[in-house]
Amino acid sequence: MKVDPSALRYVALSPHAEGLAQDMYQALWSFIVCVVVTVGVSLATKPMPDSALTGLVYRLTEVPAVGDVPLCQKPLFWAAVVSAVFIALNIIFW
């Protein structure tokens, strides 16, 4: 498009396309090409056995029990701390 601005009508499928249309249609064509390549590669390759995927995917990985951990090592505690700090900063800098 930078070399020949009139080529935008081929990408956007309209001779009246503007600059924003170029961005939108380039994203659309990139998405379509990505989906076609992904489906093509998926159909052309052999699936990996479950034994090779153990430890890589959640469904095939055994999740160990957490057991008793201190409060400061729980993610919910830190989520509450971060939320409290966020709310306090919003009130202070309102």
Instruction: Answer whether residue 62 is part of any domain.
Output: no
3-state secondary structure the chain: CCCCHHHHHHHCCCCCCCHHHHHHHHHHHHHHHHHHHHHHHHHHCCCCCHHHHECCECCCCCCCCCCCCCHHHCHHHHHHHHHHHHHHHHHHCC
Q: What pLDDT shows up at residue 77?
A: 94
Determine the average pLDDT of the residues in 18-46: 90
Instruction: Answer whether residue 32 is part of any domain.
Output: yes
Instruction: Answer whether residue 17 is part of any domain.
Output: yes
Domains in the chain: how many in total?
1
Q: Give residue-wise pLDDT tens across range 42-80.
A: 999 999 999 999 889 988 888 888 788 898 888 899 999
Instruction: Answer whether residue 36 is part of any domain.
Output: yes
Instruction: Answer whether residue 58 is part of any domain.
Output: no
Determine the average pLDDT of the residues in 13-41: 86
Instruction: Answer whether residue 40 is part of any domain.
Output: yes
Domain range enclosing 74: 5-47+69-92
